[in-house]
Structure 1
Amino acid sequence: MCCRIQRPFVHLCGVGFINIKDQRSIMNKIIFILLPLFLFGGTVGKISGTVKDAETNEPLVGVDVFIPDLGIGGATDENGYYFILNVPPGTYEVEASMIGYRAEIKQQVQVYTDRTTLLNFELQTTVIEMENPVVVVAERPIIEVDMTSKEARITRSEMDILPVEKPLEVIVLQGGVTTDGAGELHIRGGRSGELAYYIDGIEVSNPLLGSSPIFDKNIISEMSLLSGTFNAEYGNVMSGVVNIVTPEGGERISTYLEYTSFMLNPSPYRKKDWMNSLDSTAYDAHRDSSDISEYNPQYLDAPFLGEINAAVMGPIPFDRRLKFSFSGNYSNEESYLPFGYESSYSLNGKLTRKFGGNLKLFIDGQYVNEETQNYSHRYKYIYENYLVTTRKNLRAIVGINHAPAGSFFYNLRVGYLVDSVETAVPGLSDDTIIEPVYDNYSEFYVSGYPIYRQFATTKQYVVKMDFTLHFARVHNLKWGIEHNHHDFFLDKREQLFTRGAVVYQNYQRTPMDGAVFLQDKIEHRSLVANLGLRFDYCFPKTVMWEDIEDPTSPSTEVEPKYQLSPRFGLSHPITDNAMLHFAYGYFFQMPPYEIMYFNGNYIAHPESIPRYGLVGNPRIEPQRTTAYEVGIKYAIQQIYGVDITLFLKDIKNLLATTEVRSFPYDYIIYTNDDFGSVQGIDVTINRKVVSHFGFSFNYTYQVARGNHSFAMQGFYDVYTGMPERLKEYFLDFDRRHTLSSNLKILFGQGGGLSFNVTAASGLPYTPYISEGVVVEQNSARMGWEYSFDAIAYQGFKIGGTVLEFFVKGTNLTDHKNPLYVYPRSGEPWDSGESEGGLMGSKDYIMNPSYVGPRRAVKAGMRIKLQ
């Protein structure tokens, strides 16, 4: 028997799956268990502070501090201290009042998810019949002293004045976030797929396929990115969390309508012989008898091109305590590439009803229907034979928020989520297999279809409950439980490599998973500590060989998976304008369930396993990242904020594909053999908008190394005869330098400009020197990527209506950003081969998808009524 299998880690002390040789002393393990970290997580924030006499500076007892819009508040104690829990993110007026003192109102008080907003009052003495209250505009602090790790957030109004198309483009602008050649997101050097998405406290990623959810900007009241360490409420994820809180209706009816045009400038690729403008000798390769190109641009069959967003929210007229928020999105967009498109529509709704006793009930729902076709260069001339993906997404959440006391509240959420994904060639019957046929030069396909078809339905039933208690003035204790019951169906046909066997899968599975978590946020004047612990469990509910190296061993029920995740964080104000922060944590993530159930028919019938057949592994263990970060934040003149953060990640048990040779079997199975490491630094500089302009700047330097860049790389290495990779190398998505900056200029009267400038060092690749010369994996770099984006807007107020026009452009310099390059030249459109060598046609070599999106200019308008 010959294999490449590593033995599984030993489960010790309940702290994940721990290799004894890799761990420190038992005392360190005990400390890590007793001092875990978590942030105060969820969908709400907190306001706290003190109230004093303006003349004597003595604390005032019994002052009422109240948020009129929400109908909640608190009273000061003997030290003048107050707190208000359970505050949804948003902007509010907060009023402090007491008999014998003039009331004071703080306006534009910003509350964020998971954060404590410090708000102090100084009241002036007066007679009872005194004049109007004092009105003060609250200043948002440059430094948030309760933030123990890196976090970025943005509101819907801020998103509207950025030159971006989709919400996730805002995430790309944040420090520590990079993209690979396929556009996938990577957080601090982690693999793609290590980012979880939460909407109103419920994770909405697809657990079967591991794909991201579909959502538009209409559902966003606030969106935050946790890119370092994060709290106990967020589990089964290793690199980052996107947390979205949906909007609720306000006290007044408001409406919003936005139209964004299609790309006003024509794509350079959607015309015959587009290459001739760059190279007079380059033409489309496929031509008819009249020497005219056979390429015909694809046009989307839709009523119109562009995007419409609409929303209406407010109170129900016959019941002012019942608030609603309804929105919709309709979009049709042709790709800038020679073919491809994206067409979608979505409907979103939320009802919120307040009852007596500080009880609130909400119902939140979303339906999305999206159809997309990606570009494949080989199908340039027969795009009608290429795959189309249709995805339908349904989300329904019912939640209760109840605060029976001012220092205690709880949340109960019940969710039902459905994600249906179908990928197939339109009009092609399910049982039809016609392999694609090359042209005479083995470049483009002239007939046939991709051997791939998938229909997958994921249903999730989610229950989540958490409790929050504020006590002893400094403690915010939160604990909770969540349980997910899944119902998966998958029918799939695919060919993993050219001329290889066609793999068929058809199964239904009903696994379960969930977690219990506990966290405490301790807020002292000189120290904030986030402590917590999370316990995750997973029941695959299937069978597997007892010995994954021996297909003849008995098949037994797969044991459940358990892990504990300790985390710990501190922030310490050094001065009024500077603070230190530190965070540490274990982060586990189970692979997508498809990995466990892949080719499950081989388990009962091992004799059907072909050579190099890929076998799923329900005995797979959770992947693990141990993350550290330490940083300093400081404010300059209460206008500029600087954050410098060092981070380190040790990554073990990564998903891998490993060959097993056990006569007469020779197959490849999913294992936990991959590993990696990341070191880096984030620098963020912000200037809040003062004197009509503000800016933000992010710079990240990082080194991401590992033995494989993605799980299937081991499979392809075996198939192509590559030796096993036993050491770390620069990963395919390792970008050494990334920079992003935004400059805002406000004209007043509703007008302004916003500019994004982004730059990133090139992705690595393995160069080809000459035959027989071996070079190190990923030892060369592609060229830098740059983009200059801008938006200009001007609003006009007509009565209670605001009419706003805007024009925006991306990659305005039309820089050709390399995504893939030829190993001989290091260039995307130059194969580096001589005319007499193996060089193909320029039509084939100049693949438009090898460079990033070209210049795009759009215009639009918004109408707001309130």
Structure 2
Amino acid sequence: MRLKFLIPLLFLLPAMLISQTGKISGKVYNEATKEPIPGANVILEGTRLGSAADVNGNYIILNIPPGKYDVVVSAVGYVKTTIKNVIVNADKTTFLDVALKEEVIGLPEVVVQAERPLIDISQTSSRAMITSDDISALPVANFQEALRISPSNYSGYIRGGRRYETKFLIEGVDVSDKYYEAFSANYGGNLYTTYHGLSLTFRENSNVAEVGVGAIEEISVNSGASSAELSQATGGVVNITLKEGRGRISGKAYVRYASKLPHKGPDLYFGLLPDGSTAADKYFGEKRALEAKGDPASLAKARLYTWTPGKYWYGNKPTAEFEASLGGGLFKDMGFFADVRFYETYGRFPNEFNRRLDITGKLTYNLTPSIKLTAIGLVNDQGFYFGWKNRVFNENYKFFLEGVPKYTKGSFALSGKLTHALSSRTFYELQVSFLTSPTEAGFVDSNGDGKVEVNEDDGDFIKFATPEEIRKYISKTDKTKFFTTTPRNESESEASFPSSGPYPLARPGAYYEYQRLSQFNVKGDIKSQVTNHHFVSAGFDLKFYKFTHLRRYTVVGRFDVEDYIVKPYELGFYLQDKIEYSGIIVNVGLRADAFNAGAKEIDNYFAPYDVKTEQVQLGGTNEVLTVNRYILRRNTNVKTKWLIGPRLGISHPISDKASMYYSFSRSMQVPPFASLYADAYSEMHGTLPNVWLVDQEPLKSTIYEMGIQYVISNYFGIDLSAYYKTIENYVPLAYGVTPRPGVAITYFIRFNGGYADSRGIELTLNSRALPVANLFKLSGKLTYAYSYIKNLVVSPDALRGQNVTSFSTLGGDSAKYGGKLPFENAKYFAGYEMNVVSNLSSSFTGYDRPHRISLSLFFDFPAPFKGVPVDFRLSTFTTAASGFLYPLILADPRSRKLGEGPWNIRTDMRLEAGYSLGKVRIAPYLEIKNLFDRENIIGYDRTTDEGQLLWEQKKIPTGPLGLTVFRDGTSAFDIAREVYFGISINF
């Protein structure tokens, strides 16, 4: 049913896009006399795009989709000249001066091969460009891996910004995860992972849609001060441009396969623990002890020890990937590009499974010489549309993985753009888009027998929506029912180890979740090359969201339901002028952004709820669960938040081989919806005391940057930049409130405040293909980044009450503040600056790696035998990062000293042999991740003091329980060596 609306509409609607085009400008002149050639025609071959030179020989071609073009220049009395493979990037000016020879009888057409410039003299702020050529040569499987080539990025964190502070755009359509539930896990934990085993690692990426690498024309990573046209992002902006079909029909396909995926660290069941035993030893020892007791209760519990070696697959199943793309001109004025990617893996850990299907389509149509239509369709499915279920491993349930909820995800986007050229120098764009991203999680009972088995994936999730479903599956007293009302608190269905939280053997908590975030965008822009020196643009951007949330679950003796819909919106307006002279280029603009949370705030924080008593019929004999529900009173409208942000970028080309640039911007970003709405409409009781403030201030960043670019030689160029950034409202804070005397509820209301200070330097060395002893050509890129980020640490206990964070009705605070809370006081909290570290496992972090290095090398070998159309390419990609920072528990806390983990170093390799037959190229390849099988530690066990001591004293990251995977779902180690075999076909 879910597919019915997808296929017919895939290419029909228009979309919200930001600047996805570039321009070419330059001068046409006489090669001999250097005089300008007025009226010379400059045409992009195979397109309708072109321009004529003015009286001074100057020309400008606007609104060019990124890619490679053959530029044809002609004039009466001159030899036609073609410059091949001229590269155009989004939101950039490509400067191309052309010298024409005077026509002489018998003189052939001149053909010149363009070279990729080593520096970009129009660059006014830091930006890394990753082209389709780079992606096809690198040993990467998706665009997230390709982002590692950017010096600003580490594991999705850009210049101190957390993952959700990075905006992801595909053809300008914002596919960022606005909800980003992993945020709530990183700050204060998430109850549902603890009690229900639903790991948030499958929600860790901050984008809800992806495209196959074969569909990507270029990726732009904007880490510096952005132009006014780019909307809210306090981290960075990753802008992906898709390929556009032009010319003859061509395509590419590849398959990639690995027989298994091992992992670093001890075996989860048979790895040796610090006491010399294994988890399996403890498990079977307890079972034997229960059987030896012989009483009915012990024997009944012993029968729950159902795990045996091999019960769950464990890293011994294959991973496979297939991708195919096809594109070109359908008719004279219509082009298309389509890409399909299928990926399936059984993971590295027990019972893992992830399958995804990505479908991408782009259609362009020149309705008239001045009107162009562009349509985009994206479908990403992880089971929501086509019906399969994905699984995650959870350490808490490793002996009973039947108790871990399965999940499905999906996203669907339609976009389109009308571009109307009013003249050769002025055009406007109107865009509309729609994106929806649903998620569903829970349990499946395919055969309807009331039990959930590991391999039951067919059918719908159990929704616990009717009294019949609840009675069938849930009971506190009837132990034959699959679900309990007290998950992780029922000793007769749990092992006795470990003491920090016994492993469940049966009877998990009931759980069902459905979330959907839909966004509708409308955008308009008008852009004009007013003079040869001023390119002016202005526009608006309207985004309307609808977030639907439904969650039903049992926890601590309750059956709870969360069900709400919120409708926030964003507004954006900008004005910008790009001023270009031979000695200076200036981007100056102003942007206004607004956000309204579309929800209501608590009226009185000291009387925040109404009490409602309900009875739920469960599956035991005459079993009725009485629940006192504390329903939050939310009746106060929140105000719209505004920010007026100036943007300035300056480039000073010193020569064609050197330039300096400076930039400044002021931006804001909406907090993730998880920090606004998570638990906002749920109930309050003694074990669920956390509520987020809906009326929070947005994050606000101020960025200063300066840099220099220099061409060292014909083969090498460098880009060196330094930046300073502050981020306001960066730190999660909380007030504790005791509303009513005699009621055992003290709840915590969380909100943001404080600040972060991020600064660093970044160096990039680019190399063109360099011939080496006539044996091969060597090219590559070297990057280095040094950075640190510190944030305000507020500690009320250490500061002797200077920061008041506890309030109560009995203490007179309700009367003092009139039922409100003094959130504005947080601006004046005393504290101290400290390097940012994660509250949970270090694998969540990326801002705490002071030194980061990457090196990509490409070795191109020509055909070894004359007349045999075989070529070879070897590419390597090495990354190195200093270790994560962590708090020292043995050091004097007054020193605020942090420890540093070991460096992480990883080399990936790809070796390809290509055989060409006409226009077809077949290339088998070998790809190896972590070539040298290095053990890279990315986190350690922080759940117990013993685990922290083992790490601090002995550098054992797995803790007393030998945890390769921690209970928050993150890992102690980066990947082990992985070997893939594949074959690609280009035609």
State the alpha-carbon separation in 1 of the partners of residues 940 and 963 from structure 2: 15
State the alpha-carbon separation in 2 of the partners of residues 161 and 324 from structure 1: 24
| In the alignment, structure 1 residue 242 sits paired with structure 2 residue 213 | no
| In the alignment, structure 1 residue 694 sits paired with structure 2 residue 671 | no
Q: Is the 8 A contact 1:359 1:400 kept in 2?
A: yes
Partner residue in 2 for 1:621: 697
**Superposed displacement of residue 551, structure 1:** 4.1
What is the one-letter code of the residue matched to 2:872?
G
Q: Is the 8 A contact 2:24 2:60 kept in 1?
A: yes
Q: Identify the match of residue 355 of structure 2 among 343, 347, 366.
A: 343
Give the TM-score normalised by the residue count of structure 2.
0.75
Q: Which runs of 5+ in 1 are unaligned?
A: 1-39, 180-184, 710-716
Partner residue in 1 for 2:888: 767
| In the alignment, structure 1 residue 413 sits paired with structure 2 residue 425 | no
Q: Identify the match of residue 753 of structure 1 among 867, 871, 874.
A: 874
**Superposed displacement of residue 633, structure 1:** 1.1
| In the alignment, structure 1 residue 188 sits paired with structure 2 residue 154 | no
Partner residue in 2 for 1:138: 114
Partner residue in 1 for 2:849: 735
| In the alignment, structure 1 residue 726 sits paired with structure 2 residue 831 | yes
SS in 1 for 2:365: strand
**Superposed displacement of residue 130, structure 1:** 5.4
Q: Identify the match of residue 128 of structure 2 among 137, 147, 152.
A: 152
What is the one-letter code of the residue matched to 1:814?
D
Partner residue in 1 for 2:662: 582
What is the one-letter code of the residue matched to 1:201?
G
Q: Deviations over 1:232-263 (max 9, x none)?
A: 22222111011011112121111211100024
**Cα 1:356–1:303, aligned 2, differ >3 Å: closer, same or farther?**
farther
State the alpha-carbon separation in 2 of the partners of residues 309 and 596 from structure 1: 38
**Superposed displacement of residue 746, structure 1:** 0.5
Q: Is the 8 A contact 1:598 1:617 kept in 2?
A: no
CA RMSD, 1 decimal: 3.4
Matches within 5 A, 1:685-834: 685-691=765-771, 692-707=777-792, 726-732=831-837, 733=845, 734-749=848-863, 750-769=871-890, 774=893, 779-822=898-941, 830=950
State the alpha-carbon separation in 2 of the partners of residues 791 and 209 from structure 1: 34
Partner residue in 2 for 1:480: 539
What is the one-letter code of the residue matched to 2:551?
K
SS in 2 for 1:849: coil
Q: Identify the match of residue 526 of structure 2 among 457, 467, 479.
A: 467
State the alpha-carbon separation in 1 of the partners of residues 966 and 333 from structure 2: 61
State the alpha-carbon separation in 1 of the partners of residues 562 and 68 from structure 2: 51
Matches within 5 A, 1:487-502: 487-493=546-552
Higher strand share: 1
SS in 2 for 1:707: strand
Q: Identify the match of residue 571 of structure 1 among 642, 651, 659.
A: 651
State the alpha-carbon separation in 2 of the partners of residues 297 and 686 from structure 1: 51
**Cα 1:820–1:41, aligned 2, differ >3 Å: closer, same or farther?**
same
**Cα 1:737–1:860, aligned 2, differ >3 Å: closer, same or farther?**
same
State the alpha-carbon separation in 1 of the partners of residues 84 and 108 from structure 2: 15
| In the alignment, structure 1 residue 99 sits paired with structure 2 residue 76 | yes
**Superposed displacement of residue 122, structure 1:** 0.8
**Superposed displacement of residue 667, structure 1:** 2.3
**Cα 1:858–1:725, aligned 2, differ >3 Å: closer, same or farther?**
farther
Higher mean C-alpha deviation, range 70-79 or range 775-784: 775-784
| In the alignment, structure 1 residue 562 sits paired with structure 2 residue 679 | no
Give the TM-score normalised by the residue count of structure 1.
0.85
**Superposed displacement of residue 789, structure 1:** 1.1
Q: Is the 8 A contact 1:94 1:105 kept in 2?
A: yes
Q: Identify the match of residue 851 of structure 1 among 962, 973, 981.
A: 973
| In the alignment, structure 1 residue 533 sits paired with structure 2 residue 590 | yes
Partner residue in 1 for 2:154: 178
Q: Is the 8 A contact 1:659 1:669 kept in 2?
A: yes
Identity within the alignment, %:
25
What is the one-letter code of the residue matched to 1:212?
N
Q: Identify the match of residue 213 of structure 1 among 208, 211, 236.
A: 208
SS in 2 for 1:530: strand
| In the alignment, structure 1 residue 166 sits paired with structure 2 residue 142 | yes
**Superposed displacement of residue 499, structure 1:** 6.0
Partner residue in 1 for 2:187: none
> Number of aligned pairs?
797
State the alpha-carbon separation in 2 of the partners of residues 403 and 209 from structure 1: 39
**Superposed displacement of residue 854, structure 1:** 0.8
State the alpha-carbon separation in 2 of the partners of residues 845 and 547 from structure 1: 42
What is the one-letter code of the residue matched to 1:138?
A
State the alpha-carbon separation in 2 of the partners of residues 297 and 696 from structure 1: 46
Q: Identify the match of residue 577 of structure 2 among 520, 529, 539.
A: 520
State the alpha-carbon separation in 1 of the partners of residues 266 and 922 from structure 2: 34
Q: Is the 8 A contact 1:342 1:373 kept in 2?
A: yes
**Cα 1:550–1:271, aligned 2, differ >3 Å: closer, same or farther?**
closer
Q: Deviations over 1:752-784 (max 9, x none)?
A: 1111111111111122329xx646556111111
**Cα 1:614–1:697, aligned 2, differ >3 Å: closer, same or farther?**
same
Higher mean C-alpha deviation, range 291-300 or range 143-152: 291-300
Q: Is the 8 A contact 2:941 2:959 kept in 1?
A: no
Q: Deviations over 1:409-444 (max 9, x none)?
A: 122221111100113244463445531354222253
Higher mean C-alpha deviation, range 536-545 or range 242-251: 536-545
**Cα 1:438–1:700, aligned 2, differ >3 Å: closer, same or farther?**
farther
**Superposed displacement of residue 266, structure 1:** 5.0
State the alpha-carbon separation in 2 of the partners of residues 844 and 218 from structure 1: 34
What is the one-letter code of the residue matched to 2:647?
R
Q: Is the 8 A contact 1:615 1:668 kept in 2?
A: yes
Q: Identify the match of residue 359 of structure 1 among 371, 385, 409.
A: 371
Matches within 5 A, 1:215-230: 215=210, 216-230=212-226
Q: Deviations over 1:383-429 (max 9, x none)?
A: 23213231111011121122221101122221111100113244463
**Cα 1:323–1:846, aligned 2, differ >3 Å: closer, same or farther?**
closer
SS in 2 for 1:275: coil
**Superposed displacement of residue 634, structure 1:** 0.7
State the alpha-carbon separation in 2 of the partners of residues 730 and 451 from structure 1: 40
**Cα 1:65–1:839, aligned 2, differ >3 Å: closer, same or farther?**
closer
Matches within 5 A, 1:71-86: 71-86=48-63
Q: Is the 8 A contact 1:614 1:667 kept in 2?
A: yes
Q: Is the 8 A contact 1:51 1:80 kept in 2?
A: yes
Q: Is the 8 A contact 2:262 2:315 kept in 1?
A: no
SS in 2 for 1:231: coil
Q: Which runs of 5+ in 2 are unaligned?
A: 1-16, 182-205, 289-305, 384-389, 446-451, 453-461, 465-473, 475-482, 610-632, 772-776, 795-803, 807-825, 838-844, 864-870
State the alpha-carbon separation in 1 of the partners of residues 521 and 515 from structure 2: 19
Partner residue in 1 for 2:721: 645
What is the one-letter code of the residue matched to 1:199?
I
**Cα 1:619–1:157, aligned 2, differ >3 Å: closer, same or farther?**
same
**Superposed displacement of residue 84, structure 1:** 0.5
What is the one-letter code of the residue matched to 2:375?
I
